[in-house]
Chains A and B, each alone.
Chain A
Amino acid sequence: MSTPDFTLYALTAISLYIIGLYGIAVRRNMVRIVIGLEIITASVNLNFLAFTKLDQSLLPLAQYFVVVSTVIGAAIAGLSLMIVIQAYRHYGSIDAKKLSKLRW
């Protein structure tokens, strides 16, 4: 079967991961940060499935992990969006730079 092999999946996952990190680390818009978080979650899920390419017997375990992880990812998304909304209510903006009370 000439399904794409492991390396491709793994690289995709890593690049998604880096994109997601970029989103968290660099972007000031809180919604974009949340999107970045979701991208990271997706990359992690993809990574799990990529490993099944190496060993077919891991598939049930990987599927299990992905399902749980997706559910958790949804919960995280909901929670973080709620935080964004609260922050918007408090600061009047969705700029992450405004949340700097925990400073020196």
Chain B
Amino acid sequence: MIIEDNSFILFQSIIVPAAFSVLALVLGNRLKEKTGWLSSVILLYSTVLIGYTQLRLFLEPSLEAIEASYSWLPNIGSLSLGSFTLRADGLSTPIALIIAILCTLISIYSVKYMEHEHALGQYFALYLLYASGMIGTVLVTNLAAFFLFFELMLIPSWALIGVWGTGLREKIAFKYFMFTEAGALSLLAGIVATGFIANTFEIFEVSQGMVGIELGVQIAIVVAMLLGLFVKMAIFPLHTWLPDAHAEAPTPISALLSPAMIGIGGYAAIRIVYTGFPAVVKASTPQFMLILSVLALVTMTYGGYMALAQDDIKRLLAFSSISQMGYMLFGIASVSTIGLVGAVLLYVSHGLGKAVLFMVSGVLIHEFKTRSIKELGGLAAKMPYTAIATLIGFLGLMGFPYLIGFWAELYIFTGSMYTALQGFSHLLEPNSIRVLITSLAIVASVLTASYGLWTVRRVFYGQPTEKTMHAKEGSMIMIVPIMILAALALILGIYPGLMASSASTYISELLGSIG
């Protein structure tokens, strides 16, 4: 059963941050860094709205989605861009909720971290626009509107990196912008082609419109769109923008770029490919999806190896994100309900865990003015909360039980293995390549454990170095958001049903309709 959103809940959750960004800009000169409190209140409003939606979806299993539709642009000749449709269902709501929670808490974190920076009014205005862009991208189902918000995510983040970043920030911001824009253009090509061929931009009607279209054309469109999305997700070999962008961005923005934004590429992949192009999924399994699985495996492993070689802690986390996106892609490519739910849960787990880790790295940068792991050491005694949070963060990435990451990985791998062994019930040959790939993927998680534990050891154990001799715990304004996120990861780890049950209901229906 699908409900109409009559109280503009979804619309508000997107527009309110964008609208109030002007307020932040104006008040910024006076309030300076305290604007962060204002922006977090604004974002809290969005969080509450989305949280309410998720709660409704969780408590009412018969509720499939909450939709809203607003008429948008007039028709241009015979081409209609459709209406501005929003949809909160089991797939999009957990993701939107995580984005909203992260934006809210990181805004509080920014208050302390950015306290000595300039032009903070502009910073928070851009921040609000960025948040609005991300939430919007996830909630809209009209492809044209999706592209609008996709670009709306891009521009504020470019500005944020370019002005408040570190190192060669203008160049890095430019590289980030160009790269993602190139991908976005590929995505645009796919969207426009879809619009013309299927005569609609509404993702749920695209599958109807694609009936009867030659499979080669559909695959070409899907590949074009996936290219754009994979640039965003930083899948190998399109990932090179990510280490620089994440390392040199201001840490609160890194904590949003990595956990929240890149996973949106994965969400979009599920939404667009599975909902709009069922023929591609059905006809090309196992080949197309298998190739994606291999790509995911390569990304996972490559990210892990690169992370091992890093001394700069933010670059290490950036490569770790690349590796985690490999996991998400692996779940997406598993063509099974379990795997897709695992991918959604991985987004949640990576979102929470990586945000914790980036914020911890921010605490370290704030205290010691260095990003180099070599210069840090022996911190566990003086910074206990930070140490605990880091350990929880890395354990979550490793897929350790008691944290949501465990369920994410369990489901991703079970899903893929189930697809591989599905032959059993139909007395077909099991897909042994997929069995092998799944096994290799599980082995690759040893790399995650290695770089995680090694980093914890190098930074927190052993003897203090000269830089860390006079360490003290970070400010509570920075620590409390970190601990809240860690606690969330634990709660969801013990009861993932909060996010997973609505997701699984929706996704199983989705896959069921593909057949």
Q: Do chains A and B touch in the complex (CB under 8 A)?
A: no
